[in-house]
A and B are shown apart, each in its own frame.
Chain A
């Protein structure tokens, strides 16, 4: 998947804003939003929040987890733990990126938050890299990984699933003595199934 597609999915996340205008309920395909009353907080999808912010029609209330103390703690925990720590949001990276780009004035100490989130991302990326290497090296076919966010999973695509397909082919070749047309065919089918899941 393209990172932009992941971002698109993440923009459905709700976030609370304080509008500076009045409006009735807006009916959208994904659900109703509003009503908007000036200076009363209301929850809207992220994409709408950004859009309203760009028109200067609202103030965005950053999510609870977006503060220095909590993120520092999270970073330390991520450093200590060997496995992945549960992130406060399924799309923390995207939310942070969008909010820090478009609503810097609504977030206190935005620059520091930006750095910490980048640190957390980097720690997690290096964990992903080493665990992927272990996975391929031990010719495992699956690994249980909890608390990875969609964007992080997406960083290993398509390299990891495709590499695993090749490992699978070579492993299969090891167990079958003579490759015939039929094994090639069954390989083809199984890999179709595999890659439709993985990509």
Chain B
């Protein structure tokens, strides 16, 4: 059982994977000799005004500083239309379909959202969906398909919660049964056969 909850840090694989998620970026300046980044263009240079999907780790730095090279736009799933869907009923949404790292990516994306709507919707979505998550984790025997609709952050919480609940249920149901040999030992073919009659 992991005692720590997830926090992004330099060595966190999940954080690295989350920053690989792409978001649309518009180039503000011409970039010579990088035309091959844009498969649809034939020229050798990347023209200002082209929109490309760049991974977050790249976009974050290209758009920062005093002379930004690109302007980052909000990815589709954090735009108004999707925000409305999430507001209507977050529980009904298949977050996994929207993005493997819905929350983590959102926490990166929110710096490009001047009005702060993205961070608000992330928090609201998490809060509303938590009940569902908790119920899923608390129900033993739920089929593995239930976690298909969770994003990776929720999935991690689900796994931890589910494991803890399984332990509790084993504790509750196991009623001091006598210690037995493990199934492996019993089924082990090479075990020496004890002749009962000899002993008697």
Contacts and interface: CB of A to CB of B under 8 A. Distances in A.
Nearest to A189: B7
Contact of B175 (A3, A101, A132, A187): A101
A147 interface: no
A88 B167 CA distance: 25
Nearest to A134: B131
B7 A159 contact: no
B117 to A, nearest CB: 10
Contacts, number: 108
Given A101-B176, A136-B130, A195-B5, A170 B161 contact: no
A184 B5 contact: no
A179 B176 CA distance: 53
B187 interface: no
**Secondary structure of the A side of the interface?**
helix
Contact of A132 (B8, B103, B134): B134
B127 interface: yes
Contact of A137 (B7, B131, B160, B172): B131
Interface string A163-199: 1011101110110011100001001100110011001
Interface residues of A, number: 41
Given A158-B1, A159-B137, A170 B7 contact: no
Nearest first, the 4 closest Cβ-Cβ pairs linking A and B are A162-B5, A159-B161, A3-B171, A165-B5
Interface of A: 2-4, 7, 97-98, 101-102, 129, 132-133, 136-137, 139, 154-155, 157-159, 161-163, 165-167, 169-171, 173-174, 177-179, 184, 187-188, 191-192, 195-196, 199
